[in-house]
A and B are shown apart, each in its own frame.
Chain A
Amino acid sequence: KAGVTQTPRYLIKTRGQQVTLSCSPISGHRSVSWYQQTPGQGLQFLFEYFSETQRNKGNFPGRFSGRQFSNSRSEMNVSTLELGDSALYLCASSLAPVGGNYGYTFGSGTRLTVV
């Protein structure tokens, strides 16, 4: 059974550019969540999607957006990149309703570096 697939694995962008990251969840998983990991900040929740609907959003500026497609694949977009957006972006999928005791399955992440 394939795991959560994130592409690309590494990305270098320039300040002011925009970037799109992609996530393919485990087959059958309809919930996809995105997190940002930076040193000292742990994993910060970005948003969660279920059946193409955003059900929750974290405290990030509007430059961060996402969407989910009918096949449950998800993308997140960051516009007008800032140096502070450099981070590991993690996608996670879940079969059970998010918030229970089964947790997520995470992908390996996309390492974004903004220069």
Chain B
Amino acid sequence: DQQVKQNSPSLSVQEGRISILNCDYTNSMFDYFLWYKKYPAEGPTFLISISSIKDKNEDGRFTVFLNKSAKHLSLHIVPSQPGDSAVYFCAASDSGTYKYIFGTGTRLKVLA
């Protein structure tokens, strides 16, 4: 049972435009959501997070939106840069379970 889903395996965006990566979840007990970025041959790096009591969190070019009623979160990157080309994973946790559950990832390609 995939509790965290990223239904788009890949996304291509022109440099300077907005990239929107989506993630859906099924477990209403999740209370923290995170986004990670992964380059080939490297481990994932933490990007941004949001707790379930908020609906938006912004950090520079990255903004995460959470829609609890729809069990949906999204990551917006504005403006997109070629260096943003990577695989992006969303993850969720239910505090007390000592783990994060990751989606399958979306490969973003930003075209120069």
Contacts and interface: CB of A to CB of B under 8 A. Distances in A.
Categorize the interface residue count of chain A. 20 to 34
Given A99-B95, A101-B32, A45 B49 contact: no
A92 B38 CA distance: 14
A103 interface: yes
B43 A99 contact: no
Interface stretch (A13-21, A36-44, A77-85): A36-44
A63 interface: no
With most chain B CB atoms within 10 A of its CB, the pick from A43, A44, A50, A106 is A43
Contacts of A64: none
Nearest to A57: B99
Contacts of B108: none
Contact of A56 (B45, B50, B97): B97
A100 B99 CA distance: 9
Interface residues of B, number: 28
Contacts of A107: 43
A6 to B, nearest CB: 8
B43 A58 contact: no
Interface string B76-95: 00000000000001010111
Contact of A103 (B6, B42, B49, B105): B49
B44 A98 contact: no
A41 B104 contact: yes
Contacts of A102: 46, 49
Interface in A90-115: 90, 92, 97-109
18 contacts: A35-B102, A41-B104, A42-B89, A42-B103, A42-B105, A43-B89, A45-B100, A56-B97, A90-B43, A90-B44, A99-B97, A100-B95, A101-B32, A103-B46, A103-B100, A108-B41, A108-B42, A109-B43
Interface of A: 4, 31, 33, 35, 40-45, 48, 50, 55-56, 58, 90, 92, 97-109
